[in-house]
Chain A
């Protein structure tokens, strides 16, 4: 994978774990807010933690929302990064990039289903997907989130929190996972590898 130029959009704090996960599978990810580097990358990863409004603000401050929307190479949103690809988030009623028509809404809390949803959840794959090559169906992945996208035509894997929500989606060259592959042990590492195997 030496020829790959993986750009990771520097969306704020707490990014070391993703860089470490890429290093473990032999790939160096470059953290950047530079539109040119992002456009020229072979793969772009959009991570995110914290609040949707702050993250969108940061993308807008660096004029990256349009840059990301127009990318044609494989793009992977992770956690909040997934929600930023949606139309909007109910968290602070913020407009997002509208790459995937969906609205992020808060998970409902209930008995045995606390919010935030923090922990290992089984992920059900819908059909055969490149991103899940070599990963058994219903494998556990690590989630940390309070908001989620509903299941839609773009959903390629689901997880449950009282009801099913989108765990992974795909639309054209845009992919996104609600879980943290960088903290999901073996299946997470394989998921990242599979993403990096996708070519434009």
Chain B
């Protein structure tokens, strides 16, 4: 993990997000020692997600060296958590992760998606939830479009555009990146603030410096 961290830093990643995706379904939260080690190495923003259910969880993680905390299933279970975190730490470090996909004609928010056995439709409408999390003080939204996630067929432009229309806070696209063109498309077709990807970087199929050069050549502003 620390090796990956160093590699991404050197490659010019703009932010590192660590998701302990089985933390919520396993009813635990993310490892603090790990956060301290990564935080000591990183000189770019560092966001941590995984089973953060209380102010005390959040405070420990921020004190260990994270800049932002991202909450997903626990916020769906108890939306007041968003307001409490924003009041205590400021909206700027409260990121809301939303796992969403189409059920019938509506996008719905899913919980516990880190474990296939426990993943479930929360019955909340995604667009409604996007409005609520902002009213409660969420400072950034990461929209993980589940039907795209892991498929590498490109980001869900349609869903991202619909959510973007309701967003006054930064929106980060997640789920579906398979090629450099997918990144180019999400930045040309939507106004998202950033695009997140995992597998294509971990597998080294796409190198971050190459991707940034490609986006720059396509006229998209990137930090080179």
Contact = CB atoms under 8 A, between A and B. Distances in A.
A114 B170 contact: yes
Nearest to B35: A16
Contacts of B12: 185
B193 A183 contact: no
A118 B170 contact: yes
Contacts of B36: 16
Interface string B28-45: 000000001001101111
Contacts, number: 90
A16 B65 CA distance: 5
Interface residues on B, range: 20 to 34
Interface in B83-107: 88-93
A78 to B, nearest CB: 13
A50 interface: yes
B173 interface: no
B136 interface: no
Interface residues of A, number: 34
B194 interface: yes
B168 A115 contact: yes
A23 B65 CA distance: 13
B149 interface: no
A16 B63 contact: yes
B168 A118 contact: no
Contact of A49 (B14, B65, B89, B223): B89
Interface in A127-150: 140, 142, 144-146
A145 B170 CA distance: 12
Interface in B55-81: 59, 62-65, 67
B186 to A, nearest CB: 14
A67 interface: no
B43 A189 contact: yes
Interface string B136-172: 0001100000000000000000000000000111110
A183 to B, nearest CB: 5
Interface in A15-53: 15-17, 20-21, 23-24, 49-51
17 contacts: A15-B63, A16-B62, A23-B40, A49-B90, A49-B92, A114-B168, A114-B169, A114-B170, A114-B171, A114-B193, A116-B139, A116-B170, A140-B223, A144-B67, A144-B93, A146-B91, A189-B43
